[in-house]
Amino acid sequence: MVSFLLRESQLTEQTTNHNFPKDQNLKTKRNRYVTTGEVAQVFEVSATAVKKWIQQGKLRAVRTPGGHFRITTQEFQRFRKAHGF
Domains of the chain: 8-82 (1.10.1660.10)
Residue 78: C-alpha distances to residues 1, 10, 17, 66 (Å): 16, 23, 18, 26
Per the model's pLDDT, the better-predicted residue between 81 and 28 turns out to be 81
Helices (H), 7-46: 36-43
pLDDT, residue 85, reads 82
Residue 55: C-alpha distances to residues 28, 29, 65, 78 (Å): 26, 24, 18, 17
Chain segment 16-75, per-residue pLDDT in tens: 333 434 434 444 456 799 999 999 999 999 999 999 999 999 999 999 999 999 999 999
pLDDT, residue 30, reads 61
pLDDT, residue 20, reads 39
